Chains A and B, each alone.
Chain A
Amino acid sequence: MLRREWLVALAFLAPALTLLFTFTHYPAIQTVIDSFWSTPRGRRPAAFVGTDNYARLLQDPIFVRAMVNNAIYAAITIPASILLALVMAMFVEGRIRGRALVRMAYFTPTVLPLIAVANIWLFFFLPGFGLLEQLRSLLGLSPRNWIGSPETALYGVSAVTVWSQAGFFMIFYLAALTTIPPSLREAAAIEGCSRWTFFRRVTWPLIMPTTLFVSVNATINAFRTVDHIFVMTEGGPNNASMLLLYYIYAQGFRFWDTAYAATLTVVMVAILALVGIGQFFLLDRRVHYR
């Protein structure tokens, strides 16, 4: 009887399982395998090379650069997006004029494709004519090529990321804030609790699960979304805005070094897994779930 139920269950699961295995699990496993083999070229088939690809990683200055860049990029975009999202959510949660309009405006960047966002920001950054340049010239500052110079390119693309994802995170914070009963605020007001104290002692702990969720997402995005790099900098100038995923793309599909790209992918998945698990266990102890 039990066996029969299992078979029926399996039959129902089969379509989903087939798709999942074909397009997710098999490629993942194949990637790990590929990272231990050389790239097949022409008539020369792939050969088992052991950890040679990993040894090459450590010698590769562009890989090191991409790792450092990605760390900086993550360190900027994660806290900045979360902070901006929270501030926007607190602002549009209150009773303000044209609340629906403001909420929509904040959410709009999320709806736009990142490629389109990148194009908008290309205009903002345009040397001489762009929005930022016009503001600078009003203040009498000299023109700058924000994404064309190695010192500022990484910060330029970071700003785009923050702009495009903060609205998305705002929605989660907004949902979390609206679940906090107004009577808590009223009870605190009668006790003489200031707005800041209320935020620190009540609001912040109560939206901690959302912060955890949002920070995991922001972390993943910091390694995963590179669409705007394609449009804006292509990793340049001089690898100044090279991020890990873009480097994987460049190795895999520009230089067709698929084995090395597979190796880089394994590294990235390992990093993401570590960060995700770490965040979950570290923050979990300080999160109150209702």
Chain B
Amino acid sequence: MIEAERTADVRLEGVVKSFASAVALSGVDVRLPAGRFSVLLGPSGCGKSTLLRLIAGLDQPTEGRIWQGETRIDTLPPKARNLSMVFQSYALFPHLTVAENILFGLAVRRVPRAEQARRLDRVAGMMGLSALLGRKPAELSGGQQQRVALARAVISERPVCLMDEPLSNLDAKLRTEMRAEIRALQERLGLTMVYVTHDQVEAMTMADLIVVMNAGRIEQVAAPRDLYARPQTLFVAGFIGTPPMNLIPRAALPELQVPPATATVGIRPEDMATDGPGYRVAARVVGLEYLGADQLVALNLNGARVILRLAGQAGPPGEILTLTLPADRLHVFDAGGRRIDADHPDTSSHRVLHQEILHDPLLPHESGNRGPDRGTVATRLGRRS
């Protein structure tokens, strides 16, 4: 494989996609780094698949530019973009054998037979398909079909690989296996992976970088641990985590010490405790889900419904619990749904920041090829990277 091609990243600048009756993407700026596993995560209808199709060239953006390395690709047809794609439905040709399916692209591009055979041999071996090459897709299991689709992407030896919810048609066990397999493959080949999913477990387990999307906008771009530890918006806080973060109205916690602009206080179910240091508040137990290792206790906290995660061995809780909310575990959000950082130097500017961040890439730009410097954004994000 050509080493120079492997370094291509994918950048989107001000990408807008409008359909006749709706706006699917409104101003997306993001950089998906070379050789890394990026996941586009969001609820259905958030525009993540549209974004992937724009990168693939299957749809054209209404506005904005898309770059692959130093090449502007949004004006190129799909075949001229140096990328491969795995579809949710696998898009295998039902009348062709596994070998013909895998070699389809090479045959179309008239790669010499000897080279086709050599590459097929290697990829089939890598994907464990060597014994199945003569079969038709209908004679394969879901997992095997998935592997064929992956093999077809891999054999093209293109540096960028796009995947649109590739695991959603598989059963839970197979999905876990394939997650590990796809991640291993990406690392082994150094692919720039762009992976669309609505499954946060997939995103958290596989990604180097998660791009959380909602309603056609990017909410946050961060590594999985940062995303979980420091959600930047209420949406991200309420989306990531199973069960998600408890989001409690400020009014329900009258004496809690928080910045004045605070509208919502968030705390993860496992961060609350029944003892130890922190803000103490009484809550009434309204429900219990026992999961074995854990139990999830539903509580009424001054009218707000919160979930507390307790260890499974702890035994059933009583009627009333005294909760402790450790100060360093609190996430505070303003009325606009934007995170307020206690350590942020200028809390009054967060409204402006809110506007900017939704429109701008959240990753720092090492190359500095992105026009005017957004000091505040870069500084605050620089800390996280």
Of A69-77, A88-96, A183-191, the stretch lying at the interface with chain B is A183-191
A193 and B156 CA atoms in complex are apart in Å by: 13
Residues of chain B within 8 A of A186, CB atoms compared? 56, 58, 78, 85, 87, 91
Contact B108–A197 (Cβ < 8 Å): yes
With A197-B108, A290-B138 in contact, is A190–B93 under 8 Å at CB? no
**Least CB separation from A185: chain B residue:** B91
B79 to A, closest residue via Cβ = A192
A245 to chain B, nearest CB (A): 37
A181 CB contact (under 8 Å) in B81, B89, B138: B89
* Option from B79, B88, B95, B138 in Cβ contact (under 8 Å) with A190: B79
CA distance A190 to B57 in the complex (A): 8
> In the bound complex, do residue B87 and residue A206 qualify as a contact, i.e. CB atoms below 8 Å apart?
no
Q: B344 interface residue, CB < 8 Å from A?
A: no
The answer on a CB contact under 8 Å between A191 and B156 is yes
The distance in angstroms between the C-alpha atoms of A181 and B89, with both chains bound, is 9
Residues of B within 8 A of A282 (CB): none
A:190-234 near B, CB below 8 Å:
190-194, 197, 201-202, 205-206
B191 to chain A, nearest CB (A): 15
Give chain B interface residues in 250-270, CB to chain A under 8 Å. none
Q: A184-B91, A290-B94 are in contact. Are A190 and B85 (CB under 8 A)?
A: yes
| B71-87 near A? 1/0 per residue, CB < 8 Å | 00000011101011101
Contacts of B56 in A (CB 8 A): 186, 190
In whole angstroms, what is the CA distance A184 to B95 when docked?
A: 12
For window 287-326 of chain B, which residues contact chain A by CB distance below 8 Å?
Answer: none
Residue of A190, A192, A193 with most partner-chain B CB within 10 A: A190
Q: How far is the CA of A71 from the CA of B85 in the complex (A)?
A: 50
Considering only residues 90-104 of chain B, those with a C-beta below 8 Å from chain A are: 91, 93-95, 104
Nearest CB in chain B: distance from A185 CB, A: 9
- Closest chain-A Cβ to B332's Cβ sits at a distance in Å of 44
Interface centre among B83, B87, B88 (most CB of A within 10 A): B87
Bound-complex Cα distance A240 to B81 (A) = 60
Contact, CB under 8 Å: A193 / B95: no
Is B241 located at the chain interface by the 8 A CB criterion? no
B94 x A190 contact (CB < 8 A): no
B105 contacts chain A at the CB level, 8 A cutoff: yes
Given the known interface contacts A190-B56, A190-B85, the answer about A181 and B108 at a Cβ–Cβ threshold of 8 Å is: no
Across the interface, do A183 and B91 meet the contact criterion of CB distance under 8 Å?
yes
Q: Is the CB of A184 within 8 A of B85?
A: no
The answer to whether B95 and A206 touch across the interface, beta carbons within 8 angstroms, is yes
Question: Which residues, 44 to 94 on A, are CB-close (under 8 Å) to B?
Answer: none
Pairwise interchain contact A191-B109, C-beta atoms closer than 8 A: yes
- B91: chain A residues at CB < 8 Å are 181, 183-184, 186-187
- Identify which of A190, A194, A201 contacts B84 (C-beta below 8 A): A190
Give the distance to chain A from B356, nearest Cβ to Cβ, in Å.
34
Please indicate the chain A residues that have their CB under 8 angstroms from the CB of B79 in the complex. Answer: 189-193
Given contacts A192-B105, A192-B108, A205-B95, contact A183 B138 (CB under 8 A): no
Q: Are A189 and B89 in contact (CB under 8 A)?
A: no
A188:B104 contact, CB within 8 angstroms: yes
A290 to B108 Cα, complex, angstroms:
24
Residues of the B chain whose Cβ atoms lie less than 8 Å from the Cβ of A206: 94-95
Closest to B58 in A: A186
Q: Distance (Å) between the CB of A228 and the closest chain B CB?
A: 38
Is A136 interfacial (CB 8 A cutoff)?
Answer: no
Q: Does A288 have its Cβ within 8 Å of any Cβ on chain B?
A: yes
CA distance A197 to B109 in the complex (A): 11
Residues of A within 8 A of B109 (CB): 191-192
Leading 6 A-B pairs by shortest Cβ distance: A192-B79, A191-B105, A288-B95, A187-B91, A183-B91, A205-B95
20 more contacts with CB within 8 A, not counting A191-B108, A206-B94, are A181-B89, A183-B89, A183-B91, A186-B85, A186-B87, A186-B91, A187-B91, A189-B57, A189-B58, A189-B78, A189-B79, A190-B58, A190-B81, A190-B105, A191-B105, A193-B108, A194-B108, A201-B108, A205-B95, A206-B95
22 contacts between A and B (CB under 8 A): A181-B91, A183-B88, A183-B89, A183-B91, A186-B78, A186-B91, A187-B85, A187-B87, A190-B57, A190-B79, A190-B84, A190-B85, A192-B79, A192-B105, A192-B108, A193-B104, A194-B108, A201-B93, A202-B95, A205-B95, A206-B94, A290-B94
**Chain B residues engaging chain A, CB cutoff 8 angstroms:** 56-58, 77-79, 81, 83-85, 87-89, 91, 93-95, 104-105, 108-109, 138, 152, 156
